[in-house]
Chains A and B, each alone.
Chain A
Amino acid sequence: MFKRLPNFAVTNQFGLFLLVIFFVLFFSFFTDGFSSRFNLFALSRVVAIDIMIGLAMMVVILTGGLNLSLGALGVSAAMFGGWLMETVGIPIIPAMLLTLAMGGFLGWINGYVTVKTGVHSFIVTLATMSIYFGMMTLFTEAEAFRKLPETFTDFGSLKIFNKYVSPLLLVSIFFVFLLFYFFKFTDLGRKLIAAGANPDAAELSGISVGQMFIYCHILSGLLAAVAALMLTSRIGAAIPSMAGNLGFDWLLPAFLAPVLGGTLLSGGKVTVFGTMLGAILVTLITNGLYLIEIGEFWIRFFLGIILLLAVLLDKAREFFAQKSNVLS
């Protein structure tokens, strides 16, 4: 790890890291209550979920595609999990595993249809978004699962490290390291990146690109299901509206985190730690905007501006990187 440090210092992840530090200091000095125990705990919980949402989108962006159905998929999986735990009465661990399987399955549908039709994943996941969400509301009749096992729901309000941090954040960090290891050191992870970076070349070197893309969508479904389970545990119930209508409320954090983190929208690059830092930054800024009292209604406006600035900066960085390459 330490040998990588000099490299790390020149990446945009380092810039992000500085930004995070800057905003932490800024909000601590200029707002009431940012550094209060209650606020930091709440923040850690939101960050935990946003990291998972960001990662779930990141693995699809790797293919040069995207997953609009992320929220609908996550909620559908969580509702399935709620049904298993409450109505069927399956123990927590197997129920969670089955929930993940459901997430993976819905992701597989996205991937399969995208690859087999050759249609852009945007339109496929636009369609599956409304299908998943509609099916979910149809099956559940929009009724929430509210009597989940207490062990499961208590986890969401557990406080650790002197009550400053939610254990959900540890779960997310675990997944961050897991994914980092997966993409960096496993054969399959490297193949996924190769397929995303240059499909033609990957195909020539014997990688089945279609298969790899389907794996990416499955992974996305799995991670979205994890995020949804975490959200369920935090809310204490599986609720159809927990990601907004059609699950659309997840989309902004889903794109903000990887894009801020330096994931290329054209595909072929993953930045696991960048996505994590991106999610932290977004949550930090949202929280800060609430505390500064700019008016709750303007928050979306500012998040939109931040997304725009992020992609513009990213573009500028790319531009200057190319320029300096040409010069040297």
Chain B
Amino acid sequence: MNALIQNFFNSLALGGLYALIAVGYTMVYGILRLINFAHGDIFMMGTYFAFYAITLLLLPWWLGFLFAIFITGLLGYSIEKIAYRPLRNAPRISSLITAIGMSFFLESFAVVVFGGIPKSFNVYPKMFSDVIIIGKTRIPVLTFITIIVTVLLFLFLWWLLYKTKTGLAMRAISVDIPTTSLMGANVNNVISITFIVGSSFAAVAGILWAMKYPQVQPYMGFTPGLKAFVAAVIGGIGSIQGAIVGGFLLGFLEIMLVGFFPNLAGYRDVFAYVTLVIILMFRPTGIFKIYSEQKV
């Protein structure tokens, strides 16, 4: 029972992280029909920005984290503007290849500038690694923080999408870019905001991730990025609810599998991809299908 409660909270935290990253994939896909393969590396850059903001710029940890989130948002904005915007009307395969190239570029940049040796991410207050003991259940403080931050960010996202004009334009753009510009909306700005939000979310996930597995290295974005992408596809890429559900689903499957069958622990990654294959076999569009037909 204790193990179950512990696993439940761990699943929520891990699922939340996957969902945070997956939202970035799905928002960009929903608007531009582009799979932003660099998203996992934006996640990685976010952790480095946090690391250096605290160790090099000597900012207090909370300011360092906020600074990193802001800079990562700026990075996402620049990537869209420099790499993807010029290709917006080009064949889709061109932007896809550009996204893969951007992923390689960011990884190589990190190797050259930050160095390939993993760095210890010991830049956060020690109380985060404390363990709360309720009865016989032991849950790290960080797990609670992760869950709370995730919930707050999703509430923010819901508010942005459904209560603001920008969110209205984001939802409109996802079906029809030219018609949205006919409404008097500057579509470039709306797309920029989408990249900023997605990248900032990735930075938050990256920082939480680096505290959980306390080190940073240039390829750390690959696996979480790929799994979050799987989560987005399972949920139905393009759908934000789908990305969130897919993220949590993957988190639960992974933790519970390892929790109940410890000798299968080595297969946890395989399990995520097997889930993807099974879901795609029965629901090729994922759990939530995005609106694709338009009545004429």
Is B one of A's binding partners? no
List the interface of chain A (C-beta within 8 A of B): none
Q: Give chain B's interface residues, CB within 8 Å of chain A.
A: none
